[in-house]
Structure 1
Amino acid sequence: LFGMVLAIGILVDDAIVVIENVERVMRTEHLNAREASIKAMEEVTGPIIAIVLVLCAVFVPVGFLGGLAGQMYKQFAITIAVSVVISGIVALTLSPALCALLLKPGHHEPAAPFRAFNRFFEKATEGYGAGVSFFLKRSLIGLLLFGGMIALIMLLFARVPGSLVPDEDQGYVINAYYLPPAASLNRTEALSGAVTQQLMEHPAVQDVVTFAGFDVLTFGVRSNAGVSFVPLKDWSERTTDELDARNLTREFMGMGAAQKDGLVLSFNPPPITGMSTTGGFESYIQDRSGGSVEQLGEKVQAFVEAASKRPELAGVQSTFSANVPQYYIDLDRTKTRALGVSVSDVFTAMQATFGSYYVNDFTLYGRTWQVSLQSESEFRRKPEDLGQVYVRSSGGDLVPLSTLLRVRRILGPDSYDRFNVYPSAKVLGGPAPGYSSGQALAAMQEVADEVLGEDYSLGWIGSAYQELATQGSGAQAFVFGLILVFLILAAQYERWTLPLAVVTAVPFAVFGAILAVWLRGIQNDVYFQVGLVTLIGLAAKNAILIVEFAVMLRAEGKGIFDSALEAAKLRFRPIVMTSLAFILGCVPLAISSGAGSASRHSIGTGVIGGMLAATLLATFLIPMFYLLVESAAQRVSRRGKTKEAEPH
């Protein structure tokens, strides 16, 4: 859908170029619509073909990138590339035919508002021509400004934080509850129930679904953990920033601050479902030394304490604890055999009473039900309750379990993970307010380098892993697109020099895009990078229109300076028209609200800023670059002819 919105602004460009040129030929050369259409198409067929090839050259290679970023690029690439090809075909066939049929010979005076606009645009064109002439005569100033802009681009990219995709308001929030280790389920129910009651009174909350005894971070059953899924009201009812899901998490965590029995955490779900459990980042500290559980617990505690001191990080914690109170039950196997009791019967009896024992399935009312055996909770609270459970010996006597088992208290982990085969502890958290996920991951890696040492390592999973794996893919797509644009134009013009004048427009678009997202506080994510790739083709399109006409004027015998200046003036109107059409088509992306608005802001802000810079800045310097490139090529050509003419 993003690709379709971008395509709307791109598709009309070719038709605008054709119609504007037909109208100009009819006005200046006083030809009828049919003859003007034929003459105009002789002038713009080359630019239109070049524009279509450039846009396809930008997007088609991007569609073959791998990984998560490649999958996201592919959707844009296919949508826009196919649309552009169809648009080019329509512009070369249907548009001139409609011009010949619909445009009337002769021009009548337009309405007053349009006359005022035309007068304004004529003055703007004169001012634009004066600016172009200034830089054509003072190319050194233009080169210095261009160099300063490149330096600003590098500075802004260093300042704008990076991330995979922006956090979104997805219409619900997740609350997780944690009590001290081995806390009873009743205490967990009391804590989660109190917070649930507060959540239901909040104006943004629609419903609350709470489960006590379930740990959402490990997907395990734990008596001291609970979770609430909090669906929010419709986005139309939550129009203020305070009721945005991304801001509600801090308020919901504040509700739990008054609960002294446990800890309440609140998470905004990840923007891509399945990438992680609770948003933010997830990782594992891996023990590569083969040490004890206690050593791993100490290292994890030191790591969490060091990470909590970093300003870039918030909510850093671990699901691993080596100090959970437990009972260790030791079976006296010698005594068990002496009394004629089967070891398997002892374990089955323990499982069926203190644990859960599967019996069978049965069908009722068209459904299949599972039968499991377990004692009531009041009969399995204490170790002494083992004396109420009996097993039958081979002689038929009933033997209480308490005579066969020895129970002692120990401390240990209630869950023990392995990651990459190594014993591991899960660590999760998120970026602090005002910081991006990229900055948070960098801070976590710095803490790991300082604290973990050589025997332990940090392994990433979920969205954090994908973000690190996709680093550089945006730059790779951008560079490949730029190279292919250059090669396509070199083939189109059959020269290596003219494409240089065209691709110099791309840095202006990049500058406008990165400046716009920096001013708006948006991060450098995958959607912004898609916008950058789009801007390669759009910025090159403006330059193609100027350079192509300058080449045509040179072929008519005009000088380089005059050709560059006249081509810039002739093409100023269609450049402004096509750029405005694309910018206005992307405005809904930049100002949207509701579900998915953060992603739309990222791509919309970038492409609008890039096109504004490509239109308002690049158009002044493209003629200058054409002048420099063409003059250099002319000097090289003269030197070559001079050497050939010298006698040997």
Structure 2
Amino acid sequence: FADGYKSALDWGLRHRWWVIWIGVGALVGVILAIVGSFMPSYIDAITPARVFLVLGIAIALGVSLFGSNRARRLRANLAGAAVFAFAMAGAGAIGHFLAGIKGAPLFQFTFFPNVESGLIQVDVTLAPGSSLDRTLAVVERVEEAAMGIPEVDYVTSIVGRQSSGGFGVGNTGSQYASLSVSLKPKRALLDTIEFWKAHDESLRTRKQTTIQTELMQRIGKVPGAEIVVYGQGNFGPGGDIQVAVRSLDPANALPAAEKVAEVLRGLEGVVNVGLSSKPGKPELSVIPDRTKLADNDLSVAQMGAVLRVLYEGNTDAKYREAGREYDIRINLSDDTRKQVSELDNVPITFRQGRPVLLSEVAQIQRTVKQDKVERLDRQRQVTAYGYLLPGYVAGSTGAQLREILRNTDLGEGVVWQELGQNQAQQNEQGHMAVAFLLAIIFVFMVLAALFDNILYPFIIQLAQPQAMVGALLALMITGKPFDIVGFIAVIMLIGLVGKNAILLVDFANTLRARGLSRHEALLESGRTRMRPILMTTLALILAMMPLAVSLGRGSEFRSPLGVIIIGGMSLSTLLTLFVIPCSYTIFDDLSRHIGGGMRAVTGRLLKQRDGDDERPGGDGKGEGTQKPGEVPDRVE
């Protein structure tokens, strides 16, 4: 096997540019396949390949200007550029085709990994004014549907209240209810492997998302009720997609939030779209006329205090019996409070013995206002939210949403902001990018100190893009999204993948120092170091397998870390055995040319200085001449 690799490496070194372009093509091809999977058509999927066609033609023209046989080299380079661009277009088309089969883009990203919490939430909302009995009947139907699923352990129900759901104050009223469906523990892979141990037979095998979908089907449509079924989030309460809409004008916030909700309904994979603030019960709004109030020496607070007594009542009077005290509530009767005409004749105060009626200082209107008012930074806020179907992630869907909202007119003075994990992702992505760059810089500094050369570290770090390709491929094959745990794995790869290239380059330099030519040194280095490279890589891959396959319960949280390291190390090792030696020759030639150029410039400068010294008085020491064969004491 080692001899076969040595023969293949010998061919690769003799055709080093082919090997380099194959490595570059693998990297660019995977990226274009991912981009093509997001495109709406095949034409859009292959469009990015035009850039590489133009770039390849420019490079071919530039390279062909030097050396002999320019026409022949130009034809060959143009043909190579066309083949490369055609291959990249094919990669984009393949990505679009695979995305059509999958029904979703090949690559998805989110901030926080999805883990099974074992808890499903159900929110029930009826029409305003619905009785508790009506709400309770719907809750009992949901409970019956949930308990009919074998994987459900128990159900907890609350009638008359809903949790805040991440939107501030929770909803209270007879039309609201919430249920928490607790699932049985999930059987892990380790439970199956340890067959000699006795395990609980009630452990479930189906995923939480599958059970959640079945629960939605069992509940079905309930007339007059809005039922939302969603998994308990791992990033806090609230919908998977949340957009807060704010405005200084309260009248603009709700219409703008409704526009955002319509955009959410149009996104693929988003269901159960709603608003944090909904229309409440019909009510009477008293709109004061401040001018008439001032004419009668009244204030809005005084008028409000009178109306509060009429509707809420006054409990200043007390009734005492047998040592106990009871409030005596004085207010309008129910019949009177429902009649607007009677409310018009309510006296607010008396002026010179004449009553000042409510109709004289205010207008009374029947309205339907929001059931909840939220403010942030003194602005009225309404949050639009939605939940994602299984197979969709917040990061990819949020990117589509942002693109649409940037081109949507929500009204004057209206601003919007994402909440939830998309907000956390936007806040942290700058810090994540800095951490990524620092990791690359630190590795470069260590390698530059190790080789005492600033070009050789670039050879080692060529393994890093190859590892990124392997990481992306591993995520696409396993169907896992890229999240914060995966980003940690990428930073780990920056340091891990360099070890293989270090083994090759360092031993090749040692062999060259012993007198071997560059070609022979690379062949011997590859043959000798192949075994330790494969052994260390295989050891790392086997160590990451338990993480990648999620052996224990809840280990799916760490699964992307193992998948990315396995994919990155596998592909990087295979490409390193060929790409790194070929890159070594290119950078070595570049280093020799740069060194030769610097020596030539230095030689001209020294020669020019020597010529100046030979002129009379040129050295400023008197005679300015030197005897033939005499060696100068010092050259500055």
Q: 1:226 aligns with which of 133, 155, 177?
A: 177
Q: 1:215 aligns with which of 154, 159, 162?
A: 162
| Percent identity of paired positions between Structure 1 and Structure 2 | 24
Change (3 A) 1:197 1:215: same
How many residue pairs end up in the alignment? 481
Q: Does 1:424 align with 2:381?
A: yes
1:132 maps to 9
SS state at 1:471 partner: helix
The 5-angstrom pairing of residues 453-602 of structure 1 reads 453-592=411-550, 595-602=553-560
Q: 1:196 aligns with which of 143, 152, 155?
A: 143
The 5-angstrom pairing of residues 45-84 of structure 1 reads none
Change (3 A) 1:136 1:342: closer
Change (3 A) 1:490 1:620: same
Kindly state the Cα deviation for residue 476 of structure 1 after the two structures are TM-superposed.
3.5
SS state at 1:442 partner: helix
Q: Write the deviation string for residues 473-505 of structure 1: whole angstroms up to 9, x where unpaired.
A: 444332321122112211222111111111111
Q: Does 1:261 align with 2:138?
A: no
Could you tell me how far apart the structure 2 residues matched to 1:226 and 1:477 are? 45
Change (3 A) 1:560 1:127: same
Kindly state the Cα deviation for residue 612 of structure 1 after the two structures are TM-superposed.
0.5
Change (3 A) 1:381 1:311: farther
2:255 maps to 298
Could you tell me how far apart the structure 2 residues matched to 1:329 and 1:343 are? 9
**Would you say the 8 A contact 1:212–1:227 is kept in 2?**
yes
2:350 maps to none
Q: Write the deviation string for residues 514-546 of structure 1: whole angstroms up to 9, x where unpaired.
A: 011112222121111111111111111111111
Could you tell me how far apart the structure 1 residues matched to 2:336 and 2:444 are? 77
Kindly state the Cα deviation for residue 145 of structure 1 after the two structures are TM-superposed.
0.9
Kindly state the Cα deviation for residue 557 of structure 1 after the two structures are TM-superposed.
1.7
Q: 2:29 aligns with which of 124, 143, 152?
A: 152
Could you tell me how far apart the structure 2 residues matched to 1:482 and 1:374 are? 76
Change (3 A) 1:213 1:521: same
- Larger relative helix fraction: 1
**Would you say the 8 A contact 1:174–1:266 is kept in 2?**
yes
Change (3 A) 1:407 1:633: closer
Q: 2:246 aligns with which of 282, 286, 295?
A: 286
Q: 2:132 aligns with which of 174, 177, 185?
A: 185
Ranges in structure 2 where 5+ consecutive residues have no aligned partner:
38-106, 188-201, 319-324, 343-362, 609-636
1:251 maps to 214
Q: 1:270 aligns with which of 233, 241, 252?
A: 233
Could you tell me how far apart the structure 2 residues matched to 1:247 and 1:593 are? 20
Could you tell me how far apart the structure 2 residues matched to 1:538 and 1:207 are? 47
1:399 maps to none
Q: Write the deviation string for residues 578-603 of structure 1: whole angstroms up to 9, x where unpaired.
A: 11111001111111156434332222
Change (3 A) 1:353 1:413: farther
1:631 maps to 589
Whichever residue aligns with residue 184 of structure 2, its letter is: K
Could you tell me how far apart the structure 1 residues matched to 2:570 and 2:396 are? 29
Could you tell me how far apart the structure 1 residues matched to 2:336 and 2:177 are? 23
SS state at 1:613 partner: helix
SS state at 2:152 partner: coil
**Would you say the 8 A contact 1:352–1:373 is kept in 2?**
no
Choose between structure 1 and 2 for higher RCO, CA contacts under 8 A separated by at least 6 residues.
1
**Would you say the 8 A contact 2:152–2:184 is kept in 1?**
yes
Kindly state the Cα deviation for residue 161 of structure 1 after the two structures are TM-superposed.
2.1
Judge which range, 428-437 or 602-611, deviates more: 428-437
* TM-score normalized with structure 1 length: 0.67
Whichever residue aligns with residue 148 of structure 1, its letter is: G
1:163 maps to 110
**Would you say the 8 A contact 2:281–2:371 is kept in 1?**
yes
* TM-score normalized with structure 2 length: 0.68
Q: Does 1:310 align with 2:261?
A: no
**Would you say the 8 A contact 1:213–1:225 is kept in 2?**
yes
2:399 maps to 442
Ranges in structure 1 where 5+ consecutive residues have no aligned partner:
1-123, 360-370, 388-405
2:368 maps to 411
Could you tell me how far apart the structure 2 residues matched to 1:353 and 1:253 are? 48
Judge which range, 562-571 or 637-646, deviates more: 637-646
Could you tell me how far apart the structure 2 residues matched to 1:534 and 1:156 are? 25
Could you tell me how far apart the structure 1 residues matched to 2:279 and 2:149 are? 37
Could you tell me how far apart the structure 1 residues matched to 2:594 and 2:469 are? 32
**Would you say the 8 A contact 1:583–1:608 is kept in 2?**
yes
Could you tell me how far apart the structure 2 residues matched to 1:458 and 1:523 are? 26
2:104 maps to none
**Would you say the 8 A contact 2:19–2:578 is kept in 1?**
no
Whichever residue aligns with residue 313 of structure 1, its letter is: V
Kindly state the Cα deviation for residue 206 of structure 1 after the two structures are TM-superposed.
0.5
Whichever residue aligns with residue 260 of structure 1, its letter is: P
Q: Write the deviation string for residues 335-375 of structure 1: whole angstroms up to 9, x where unpaired.
A: xx9xxx99979857965899xx9x9xxxxxxxxxxx99999
The 5-angstrom pairing of residues 254-403 of structure 1 reads 254-272=217-235, 274=236, 277-288=237-248, 290-292=249-251, 295-322=252-279, 324-327=281-284, 347=308
SS state at 2:526 partner: helix
Could you tell me how far apart the structure 1 residues matched to 2:366 and 2:402 are? 38
Change (3 A) 1:536 1:611: same
Could you tell me how far apart the structure 2 residues matched to 1:133 and 1:373 are? 100
SS state at 1:501 partner: helix
Whichever residue aligns with residue 572 of structure 1, its letter is: M
Change (3 A) 1:454 1:468: farther
Change (3 A) 1:435 1:472: farther
SS state at 1:630 partner: helix
Could you tell me how far apart the structure 2 residues matched to 1:373 and 1:141 are? 93
